[in-house]
A and B are shown apart, each in its own frame.
Chain A
Amino acid sequence: MTTETTAPSTPRRRRFFSKSDKITLGFFIGVPTFLHVALVWFPALATMYLSFTYWTGIDISKIQWAGLANYENIFFNTPIFWDAMRVNTVWLLWFFFIATPLGILLAYQIDREIRGHKFYQSAYYLPVVLSLAVTGIIWNFLLRPDGFVNGLLGLPTSQAISFFGDDRYNIWVIMIMASWRHIGYIMLLYLAGLKAVDAALREAATIDGATEWQTFRKVVFPAMRPVNIIVLVITIIESLRAFDMVYIIYGSSGGLPILGVLVFNNIAGEGASMKGAAYAVILFLLTIVPIIAYLRQQFREDVK
């Protein structure tokens, strides 16, 4: 009940912003935030909501709540979903155990400045400059039934090897196509990281009599942790969100089912249903959950 005011507290703020500062800051923060929310968060949340509804994409008043029906449909009634999961898993494992390590190996070699490393560096990086769509076109031209390779083998269309149609080859063909680009990408990222590693560390290891492999494993690799995290995250994202190359070659048909194409296939066109939205949410969770889990664990270790 006291009307007595307390002594004026010392101002906590260390910085004062003038009016024009505030306007500028508001502008610089506000506009990107607005765009980000409007173009990323709103559609993302809308997609999540729509995945629990029935809707053909026409007339917003016709959205019907469907509960988990779309997800039930996908998990229990859609065999192509599991085919796509299989392909995406193979993709992830291939990238994790083969493509990414190869990229790291190349980066290491080039970093050691082997003869002609400048040439190799450009040559390996070149495919990264091309969009995946262009990669798809190039390889399609090489491997389709009336393409270059079947031509070299002298096979007419009727007997051509079915590189994209036959399950014995298609997934590996796509893996090689995707790796062609992925390896160069990882190589460049890693190379940048390697350049930043203190040469003294390596020197010390050499003086201590460590072999090349031991130096890499025990000294260089741990020193590269920030880059390793980025490489791992990129490997997961790249292999799960794959879309363009497969779409270029197969269109939206189920020739080689992957999750990215299923999203598109079910949300575009006359056959639009919110099953496509549900696929998008599944894909999102598959990508984000392992990454968050990994990063949390890493940060916890850092705190210790």
Chain B
Amino acid sequence: MLNNISNREMDRRLILKGAAAGGLGIAGATMLAGCAPGDAASAGPVAFGARTVDENPTKQLQALVAAYTAKTGNEVTYNATESNAFQNNLSQYLQGTPDDCFQWMAGFRMQFFAAQGLLVDVSDVWSEIGSQYNESYKIASTGLDGKQYFVPQSWYPWGLHFRKSMMAEVGLNPDDIYNWDDFMGALEELKAKGLIGFIGVDKGGWEAMGTFDILNARINGYQFHVDLLAGREKWTDDRVKEVFRHWEMLLPYMNTNVLDLEWDGGRDMLLARQGGFFMMGSWFGADFKSVSDADYEDLWVIPFPEINPDHARDTIDAPIDGFCVAANGANNAGGKDLIKFAGDMEGVQAMLDTGVPMTSANNGQDTSTYDAFQTQQLAVMNEAKYITQFLDRDTRPDFAGPVVGPALQGWFKDPSSTNAMLESLQSQWDALPPLA
């Protein structure tokens, strides 16, 4: 949070100025969009926009860019922005003078910008490198008009993370945890040892969405979950109440300062052996490896337990990160060329060679080269039949962040407010403006 304040400091003199300047920014950017250049013919120098300033991903991306330059001789300008700031700025960025290609996410969030004409159709890139990807990745890269706008980089599953050594200490065998009762039993044992069973974090407003997704998918199934997020089912449905009834059962095993911890606070609790299970995306494995190999080898992930036997463990949140080409970029052809390289095994290999653990979307990454934790991620992934992205990638952006986020935070403050919260969620969904 600290990184992204510098470029959005509000003016202190006039009360409205801050808001008004925001308005001007949007309007100004839109005007600029009208006179942005079309596309240049040659591959030429390319600008690349990274949506991360973290150490490990930066290492990967810079290796990718360096390999591209070495191969083609095209110079690449590498521009990095902290990820929250990047997301907050994306509309203006894409309408202004964006980098030629940039890092982004698959699914709804890509489709939204593709539908606004801000992304370049990369179907031709797919016809060249598409054979290196499974069909499911192609679907996730496809816009509402049936064309591809995205090239995948990597994926990670959301699952229950824990330290093998900790489970051994308390005499638990995680392989025995298949369903909800097993899981509650394990939590009880951790609690008896004076440990936090289930690490809860939600200061950022998005972390708990992962727990909501998986509870809803486990209890009500994939189809209901997807329909709910698309507005075809109601939040006031008794089936959604059931989700919160189960969540309430987890509360006694959770830390009470959920709203004071961001995702990295949970990671640190796991590192410090203060908590047992952590429901999160597996990407943070790289951070464990940065601390020490021993910590990384101790880290493990299993699918969230079965609750409703009808749905077993058939659904998983496995967000895909990757690259897009910005329509207003100066060099569309160059941007395409770079993301083609990034999607091709050659580029993937350059990222893998950095030694930072990554589960690539490319079939060419030999799964026999996976380390134990990556192999387990794949196993967790393979158990699922249905893949979802994540709540804030599967529903309208003006609903996920500004509405669902605070609602879940409010629920942690007062878990007895389930019914009122769900009614409010539904009425806020109904009040959303029509999609343009």
Give the B-binding residues of A (Cβ under 8 A).
39-40, 42-44, 46-47, 50, 54-60, 62, 64, 66, 69, 72-73, 77-80, 83, 131, 133, 137, 144-146, 156-167, 237, 240-241, 243-244, 247-255, 257, 260, 263-273, 275-277, 279-280, 283-284, 287-288
Interface segment among B239-247, B299-307, B343-351, B395-403: the answer is: B395-403
| Pairwise interchain contact B260-A269, C-beta atoms closer than 8 A | no
Cβ A60 vs Cβ B31 within 8 A: yes
Q: B37: CB under 8 A from chain A?
A: no
B27: A residues at CB distance < 8 A: 43, 46, 60
Task: Point out the residue from A55, A257, A284 that lies within 8 Å of B16, measured CB to CB.
Answer: A284
Asked if B179 is at the interface of the complex by the 8 Å CB criterion, the answer is no
Q: Say how far B106's CB is from chain A's closest CB, in angstroms.
A: 14
Mask: chain B, 405-417; 1 = CB below 8 Å from A; 0 = not: 1100110010000
| B199 partner residues in chain A, CB cutoff 8 A | 158
26 residue pairs A–B, Cβ–Cβ below 8 Å: A46-B23, A47-B19, A56-B91, A56-B116, A58-B116, A59-B95, A59-B117, A60-B31, A77-B427, A79-B424, A144-B260, A145-B261, A157-B261, A158-B269, A158-B274, A162-B257, A162-B259, A165-B260, A247-B5, A252-B84, A252-B88, A260-B10, A269-B89, A269-B91, A273-B433, A283-B16
- A267 and B19 form a contact (CB under 8 A): yes
- The one of B20, B268, B397, B424 that contacts A40, using a Cβ cutoff of 8 Å: B20
B23 touching A47, Cβ below 8 Å: yes
Interface hub of B20, B89, B413 (most chain A Cβ within 10 A): B20
- In the bound complex, residues from chain A placing their C-beta under 8 Å from that of B430 are 77
B401 in contact with A271 (CB, 8 Å) = yes
B16: chain A residues at CB < 8 Å are: 44, 47, 280, 283-284
Q: A60, A83, A277: which contacts B23 (Cβ < 8 A)?
A: A277
Chain B residues proximal to chain A, CB less than 8 Å: 1-2, 5, 8-10, 14-24, 26-27, 30-31, 33, 84, 87-92, 94-95, 109, 112-113, 116-118, 196, 199, 203-206, 255-261, 265, 268-269, 272, 274-275, 396-402, 405-406, 409-410, 413, 424, 427-428, 430-431, 433-434, 436
Cβ–Cβ contact A43 & B112, under 8 A: no
Chain A residues near B10 (CB, 8 Å)? 241, 243-244, 260
Interface centre among A54, A161, A268 (most CB of B within 10 A): A268
Determine if A255 and B203 form an interchain contact, defined as CB atoms under 8 angstroms apart: yes
Judging by beta carbons under 8 Å apart, are B257 and A56 in contact? no
Q: Are B15 and A288 in contact (CB under 8 A)?
A: yes
Given the interface contacts A77-B428, A251-B205, does A62 sit within 8 Å of B436 by beta carbon? yes
Chain A nearest CB: distance from B8 CB in Å?
8
The CA of A77 and the CA of B1, in the complex, are separated in Å by 29
The 10 closest A-B pairs by CB, nearest first: A254-B406, A253-B205, A165-B259, A280-B19, A43-B20, A165-B260, A162-B257, A270-B397, A54-B433, A43-B24
Nearest CB to that of B19 among chain A residues?
Answer: A280
Whether the Cβ atoms of A44 and B20 lie closer than 8 Å is: yes
Say yes or no: B91 contacts A250, CB within 8 Å: no
Would A270 and B21 be within 8 Å (CB), given that A158-B269, A255-B203 are in contact? no
Bound CA–CA A247/B84 (angstroms)? 12
- CA of A227 to CA of B399, assembled, Å: 46
Give B142 Cβ to nearest chain A Cβ, in Å: 19
Instruction: Contacts A57-B92, A157-B255, A159-B257 known; list 19 others, CB within 8 Å.
Output: A40-B14, A54-B436, A56-B116, A59-B30, A60-B31, A64-B436, A77-B430, A77-B431, A83-B410, A145-B265, A157-B269, A165-B259, A241-B10, A243-B10, A247-B5, A248-B2, A254-B409, A269-B397, A273-B433
User: What chain A residues lie within 8 Å of B256 (beta carbons)?
Assistant: 162, 166
Residues on B with beta carbons closer than 8 Å to the beta carbon of A241 = 10, 15, 18
* Interface pair B428/A146, CB less than 8 Å apart: no
Bound state CA distance, A43 and B413, in angstroms?
38
Q: Once bound together, how far apart are the Cα atoms of A50 and B23, in whole Å?
A: 8
Taken together as a complex, chains A and B put the C-alpha atoms of A156 and B265 apart, in Å, by: 11
The answer to whether A167 and B265 touch across the interface, beta carbons within 8 angstroms, is no
Question: CB distance B22 to A276 under 8 Å?
Answer: yes
Given A59, A64, A257, which contacts B33 in the complex, CB threshold below 8 Å?
Answer: A59
B204 contacts A253, C-beta separation under 8 Å: yes
Smallest CB–CB gap between B108 and chain A, Å? 9
Give chain B residues whose Cβ lies under 8 Å from the Cβ of A268. 8, 22, 88-89
A137: chain B residues at CB < 8 Å are 2
Nearest-CB distance from B432 to chain A (Å)? 8
| Residues from chain B with Cβ under 8 Å of A283 in the complex | 15-16, 19
Please report the C-alpha to C-alpha distance between residue A244 and residue B265 in the assembled complex, in whole angstroms: 22
Which B residues are CB-close (under 8 A) to A50? 23
- Whether the Cβ atoms of A267 and B24 lie closer than 8 Å is no
Measured CA separation A79–B414 after assembly (Å): 14
- Cβ contact of A133, chosen from B5, B109, B427, cutoff 8 A: B5
Assess whether B401 is in contact with A277, with CB atoms less than 8 Å apart: no
Q: Are B88 and A248 in touch, CB under 8 angstroms?
A: no
In the complex where A79-B424, A255-B203, A276-B22 touch, is A66 in contact with B402 (Cβ < 8 A)? no
Contact assessment for A157 and B401 in the assembled complex, using a CB-CB cutoff below 8 Å: no
Q: Once the chains are docked, how many angstroms separate the CA of A73 from the CA of B427?
A: 9
How far is B409's CA from A257's CA once the two chains are assembled, in angstroms? 11
Residues of B within 8 A of A146 (CB): 265, 268
Cβ-defined partner of B257 (8 Å) among A72, A145, A250, A252: A145
| CB closest chain-B residue, reference A263 | B19
CA distance A39 to B24 in the complex (A): 8
Q: B15 touches which one: A62, A80, A247, A287 (CB < 8 A)?
A: A287
Alpha-carbon separation in the docked complex, A38 to B26 (Å)? 15
Q: Are B436 and A56 in contact (CB under 8 A)?
A: yes
B400 surroundings in chain A (CB, below 8 A): 271
Known A54-B433, A251-B1, A265-B401: A270·B260 in contact at CB below 8 Å = no
Q: Which residues of B contact A145 (CB under 8 A)?
A: 257, 260-261, 265
When chains A and B are docked, how far (Å) is the Cα of A73 from the Cα of B431?
6
B154 to chain A minimum Cβ distance, whole angstroms, is 21
Closest chain B residue to A58 by CB distance?
B116
The CA of A166 and the CA of B413, in the complex, are separated in Å by 8
CB distance from B67 to the nearest CB of A (A): 31
A84 to chain B: closest CB distance in Å? 10
Establish whether residues B409 and A162, one from each chain, have CB atoms under 8 Å apart when the complex forms.
no
Task: Given A157-B274, A254-B409, A272-B398, decide whether A162 and B260 contact each other with a Cβ distance below 8 A.
Answer: yes
Nearest opposing residue in chain A for B4, CB measure:
A251
A252 to chain B: which residues have CB within 8 Å?
84, 88, 205, 401
Cβ A158 vs Cβ B9 within 8 A: no
